[in-house]
Amino acid sequence: MDKDTLVKKIMLVIEELEIMKGEFSLIMLIPTDPANIIDSKLTLLISAQWLNKMNQKDAYELVVNCLRKYLNNAEFPYMARVTFINSSDKFVKAINSILKVKRSVVNLENVNISGVQTDRTYLLESKKIDDLKMMSKEEAISHVVSSTNYWKGDTIDNSYYPNNLGLETAFRCALEHVKNSHGAELSEDDIKIAKRRVGLEH
């Protein structure tokens, strides 16, 4: 199995989930057999504030469905399990405090973090909770635009908002998403800018 290709596809999963739901505090890929890294299956460990509030069954279905979208039949069996961990857990906070990673791959080998020994782990995302809401005006506008384009289209069905909403409804949902998930509330002028970018105003 080409692990590099698998990781790149998981990055696409992360990007899509981030658009749908919000940012992550922590994302790790943990080999089930660190001694045989080439053939080892992987555990996807993820943490996010929005996951804290979700029913575990719904969260699992959301993530697994997204994995199935991007991974082919040969790749999907290499995902051993999906594990959720609360964003306030001391393990998450410990990693967030020492490593800031944004959609990259950091190899951790033989490290002990907050009393948890990891032989080998791929760290894909790590952000302090306080950093998650530090979204600039331009970032908020861009996120509204990308979310609007996502929900108005015909990408996939999801449990947050259905696709094919239509432009106006998708835009309203995107504003709500940015406010609730990122703590960003746009001014009337900012909303007009976002509307022009998605084609609601000229």
In this predicted model, what pLDDT tens digit does every residue of 80-130 receive, in sequence order? 999 999 988 988 988 888 888 887 888 887 777 777 777 788 899 898 766
Model confidence at 195, pLDDT cuts 50, 70, 90, reads very high
Class of domain 3-131: alpha beta
What is the full DSSP assignment across 44-67? EEEE-HHHHTS-HHHHHHHHHHHH
Which stretch of DSSP H or E encloses residue 133? none
Q: How, if at all, do strands 42-47 and 26-31 pair?
A: antiparallel
Q: What b/e string do you get for 51-71 counting C-beta neighbours within 10 Å, with b at 16 or more?
A: beebeeeebeebbeebbeebb
Q: What is the mean pLDDT of the chain?
A: 82
Higher pLDDT, 147 or 67: 67
**Maximal C-alpha separation, the chain:** 59
Report the distance separating Cα 150 and Cα 164, nearest Å.
Answer: 9
pLDDT of residue 132: 52
Higher pLDDT, 177 or 18: 18
Lowest mean pLDDT, pick from 17-21, 27-31, 79-83? 17-21
Q: How long, in residues, is the chain?
A: 202
Report the distance separating Cα 142 and Cα 154, nearest Å.
Answer: 20
Residues of CATH 3.30.300 domain(s) within the chain? Answer: 3-131
Measured CA to CA in angstroms, residue 49 lies from 3, 10, 180, 181 at distances of 28, 20, 11, 8
Q: How, if at all, do strands 79-84 and 42-47 pair?
A: parallel
Report the distance separating Cα 63 and Cα 166, nearest Å.
Answer: 25
CA nearest to 7, candidates 28, 32, 33: 28
